[in-house]
């Protein structure tokens, strides 16, 4: 791919905003800085010429999208908005001189620098992890190598039970490649999901023919005569033949760009609530940033698409002289386990806390579920999980944010339902279950055009 460049010499260098990384965090920052100012902006990326949707990588492999189809903006968007794009890798950061040196020896000076370098796949020093046909899945280059190494194979092993792991298993499954899925935990994703949801997803994974092995870890990867992976050995001593090994045991902040510089780091680049680092004029956002003083129950490192977007919007205000503290609001996430959609709002811990009550309803088909967690003391909504049923984000977030009581939530569940018009609705069944478990109480269910009262 050619380098896309623009002149960066016709302005005051102290006005120049340089962004390292063209993921959602960096590009959101660039867009909002442009909305708020005329400051020169340069985005540097070693991965691709243009911003693309990283969450769509799996659909390229599965033949549902092309790379061009994952780009949210036409290529002429960048020159029209005076955002210069540079294809290159930053090799050195000199904060005292406000200067970056790229791999080709060229130099770029900045007034403000935003580090938005994202994550990198975790590696744990397993024997054989550097063999051909062994990799993670994060970048477009990872997708290209996965395409190369899985051509013509019949079996693969995926190691690690997170969301990238299930995506990779689905990708391989779509190509007709048999998959063994090694998960260290006793049940799939049981550090995040409560037991019922974890078991539901586990059953669904196995129903697709995936050889899911829980409480099983990788010991080593074996090589063939050409230096390519031919099998894995588990901690149980079992040898599993395969032509490809996907290592999806999480990601870590990608902070190599600040190595050797004065920018203070821990796991990530340390920032305050305005995304300022320890060095004036240097900021960090997205997966690579780590909050020095995270709020209670907030992770120090946020590795979600929507939080990265909010980071970009917030740092743009700071750089443009209208600073605002970062306020993430209600925790939210979504994913897909093959064809079961998952949404979560607020906090639904993997194990119920002593101060919480829970209402869990599951459809007899084992493919749909609703969980509502609320406070024992005052009935205030704390969080919701949805599997196979789609609810409106704005409604659920408002309930959590405002601390709506359980009666109000249950009485208005139909207002949240976002499934297509002719899909069957299950709100009445959820309310019946609640009333059965709470003798003497009743919840009034509000439906379009009618009210229905359910008594215990």
Residue 9 pLDDT: 54
Contacts of 356 (CB under 8 A, 6+ apart): 373, 374, 375, 376, 382
Residue 423 pLDDT: 76
Phi, psi dihedrals of residue 257, rounded to the nearest 5°? -65, -25
Residue 439 pLDDT exceeds 80? no
Q: Which of residues 417 and 26 earns the better pLDDT score?
A: 26
Residue 2 pLDDT exceeds 70? no
Residue 332 pLDDT exceeds 90? yes
Residue 312 pLDDT exceeds 70? yes
Share of residues in the chain with pLDDT > 70 (%): 94
Pick from 308, 276, 313: which is nearest to 291 by CA?
276
β-pairing, 442-447 vs 450-455, is: antiparallel
pLDDT digits (tens, 9 = 90+) for 11-22: 789 999 999 999
Q: Which domains does the chain have, with CATH numbers?
A: 13-120+252-319 (3.50.50.60), 134-249 (3.50.50.60), 332-455 (3.30.390.30)
| Site of tokens 């996965």 | 146
pLDDT digits (tens, 9 = 90+) for 80-123: 999 999 999 999 999 999 999 999 999 999 999 999 999 999 88
Mean pLDDT lowest among 101-110, 279-288, 356-365, 412-421: 412-421
Work out the mean pLDDT of the chain and round it to a whole number.
92
Integer Cα distance of 83 and 43 in angstroms: 7
* Mean pLDDT (whole number) for 152-172: 96
CB atoms within 10 A of CB 377: 9
- Under 8 Å between Cβ of 66 and 50: no
Integer Cα distance of 157 and 159 in angstroms: 6
Q: pLDDT grade, residue 446 (50/70/90)?
A: low
Pick from 32, 138, 30, 39: which is nearest to 86 by CA?
30
Q: pLDDT grade, residue 161 (50/70/90)?
A: confident
Integer Cα distance of 126 and 273 in angstroms: 37
| Site of tokens 């229905």 | 452
Residue 419 pLDDT exceeds 90? no
Residue 196 pLDDT exceeds 60? yes
57-66 contacts, C-beta under 8 A, 24 or more apart? 57/137, 57/140, 57/142, 57/143, 58/167, 58/168, 58/170, 58/171, 60/143, 61/143, 61/146, 61/147, 61/171, 61/174, 61/175, 62/170, 62/171, 62/174, 62/175, 63/174
pLDDT digits (tens, 9 = 90+) for 10-54: 678 999 999 999 999 999 999 999 999 999 999 999 999 999 999
Torsional class of 21: left (φ above 0), alpha (ψ -120 to 50), beta (otherwise): left
Pick from 195, 232, 188: which is nearest to 213 by CA?
188
pLDDT digits (tens, 9 = 90+) for 349-369: 999 999 999 999 999 999 999
SS3 label, residue 4: coil
* Mean pLDDT (whole number) for 175-189: 97
Q: pLDDT grade, residue 445 (50/70/90)?
A: low
Pick from 385, 366, 410, 342: which is nearest to 163 by CA?
342
Residue 141 pLDDT: 95
- Under 8 Å between Cβ of 415 and 391: no
Residue 442 pLDDT: 61
Residue 75 pLDDT exceeds 90? yes
Share of residues in the chain with pLDDT > 90 (%): 87
């Amino acid at each position: 791919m050619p380098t896309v460049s623009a002149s960066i010499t016709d302005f005051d260098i102290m006005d120049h905003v340089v962004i390292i990384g063209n993921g959602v965090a960096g590009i959101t920052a660039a867009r909002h800085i442009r909305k708020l100012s005329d400051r020169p902006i340069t985005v540097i990326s070693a991965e691709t010429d243009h911003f693309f949707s990283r969450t769509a990588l799996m659909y390229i492999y599965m033949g549902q999208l092309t790379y061009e189809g994952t780009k949210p903006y036409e290529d002429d968007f960048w020159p029209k908005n005076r955002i210069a794009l540079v294809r290159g890798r930053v090799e050195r950061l000199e904060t005292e001189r406000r200067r970056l040196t790229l791999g080709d020896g060229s130099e770029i000076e900045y007034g403000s620098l935003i580090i938005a370098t994202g994550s990198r796949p975790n590696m744990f020093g397993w024997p054989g992890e550097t063999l051909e046909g062994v990799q993670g899945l994060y970048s477009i280059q990872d997708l290209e190598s996965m395409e190369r190494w899985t051509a013509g194979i019949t079996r693969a092993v995926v190691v690690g039970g997170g969301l990238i792991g299930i995506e990779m298993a689905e990708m391989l499954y779509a190509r007709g490649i048999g998959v063994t899925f090694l998960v260290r935990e006793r049940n799939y994703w049981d550090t995040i999901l409560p037991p019922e949801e974890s078991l539901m997803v586990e059953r669904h994974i196995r129903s697709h023919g995936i050889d899911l092995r829980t409480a099983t870890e990788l010991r080593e990867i074996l090589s063939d005569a050409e230096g390519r992976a031919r099998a894995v050995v588990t901690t149980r001593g079992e040898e599993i033949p395969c032509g490809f090994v996907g290592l999806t045991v999480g990601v870590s902040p990608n902070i190599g760009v600040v190595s050797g510089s004065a920018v203070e780091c821990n796991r990530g680049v340390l920032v305050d609530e305005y995304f300022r680092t320890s060095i004036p004029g240097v900021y960090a956002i997205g997966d690579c940033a780590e909050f020095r003083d995270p709020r209670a129950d907030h992770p120090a490192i946020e590795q979600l698409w929507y939080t990265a977007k909010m980071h970009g919007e917030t740092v743009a205000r700071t750089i443009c002289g209208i600073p605002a503290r970062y306020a993430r609001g209600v925790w939210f996430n979504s994913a897909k386990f093959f064809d079961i959609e998952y949404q979560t709002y607020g906090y639904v811990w993997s194990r119920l806390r002593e101060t919480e009550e829970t209402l869990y309803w599951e459809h007899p088909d084992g493919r749909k579920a609703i969980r509502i967690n609320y406070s024992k003391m005052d009935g205030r909504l704390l969080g919701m999980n949805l599997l196979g049923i789609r609810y409106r984000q704005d409604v659920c977030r408002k309930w959590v944010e405002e601390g709506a009581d359980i009666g109000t939530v249950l009485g208005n569940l139909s207002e949240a339902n976002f499934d297509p018009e002719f899909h069957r609705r299950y709100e009445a069944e959820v309310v019946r279950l609640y009333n059965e478990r709470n003798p003497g109480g009743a919840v009034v269910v509000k439906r379009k055009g009618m009210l229905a009262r359910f008594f215990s």
